[in-house]
Structure 1
């Protein structure tokens, strides 16, 4: 697992783009519309999961369920209005360009739909360096995160074994998915001490992964 990676598998939201606060607020607005004030724990538990899965979960939390579609009718307009304003995460563009410049196959493995990725990515042309994508609505995807299917599919699309891939994640669902798929997982979490051995590894900034890559290449 300590070898140089054969490929990079990147989450998008909260890893390459700082969209998670917007997603969290969008679900908060939708739940509040139907009388529920989401707790911080509830909002965090939605991270990394597909939109439909999140809507169904929020609906289960409601005292009087209204259905996923009713929640999405409130959540989606808020998200679409604010997500294009989301900045890149620190070090994200540098890491992607490192992979591109060094000929590493790369894929985005996200729970977001293809449409959502399109409008979130538009202000960030450097994301076009990653041509291979696994979307939350990918027709080949049976189950989303936290199941291993998204990262298994991403590795297959790149022609690599998951055990040869470095996966970059920030959410519990994403970390669980990538670990179950057999990847070496780098978890971006600025609130926890860094752990650069074993699997998963915890980093406060994406620059730490670049430093490790440079050291591995020496």
Structure 2
């Protein structure tokens, strides 16, 4: 009987011992997650919309967890203040021009606060200071933009379909050109007349140049053109010589 009691007490003591170890293990695990056993500083940022953030959510920098959200409070009708605790040994990497933004872990994960890298010349942040922020893009805004784009695409598609139908039915100028052979022939005749007119104009200009009364005028124009070309060549040669003199100096 006494042996049974002794075995029972041993089992009970072992069970209690394991339970205590398990209890302290859970406390240690939670403490690590909440940064209870590390030195921390408190900094803050603000948003117009906290977008699902809540106390206890993670703070990340360069993809690494460095702290947690401590408190979220409404300052006024357009500002929400977010206070966070971050590890003291990471403050040297967070600069005064770093910015905070709201993201999420995965597609449907919890919201997290992400701190961007600042410039190398900026000073590190200190306890109690405030970071500037990027306003989060709401899913509803994205869907509204997609809806507008979809509606515009639908309108454009309908208009293109209407234009193609009109062309196939021979309506409109382009449709008549494609369907009406007579109109196409008239267009060809018009282009041919333009070519002939251009050729005749060139012939008239040649005849005018050989005309006794106009010959002086055209020769004067040619001399002026030649003189301008010679002047441009002289200026180009002068620039080359100036450039050579500059290099020799």
TM-score, normalisation: structure 1: 0.20
Bigger fraction of residues in strand: 2
TM-score, normalisation: structure 2: 0.18
Bigger fraction of residues in helix: 2
Structure with larger Rg: 2
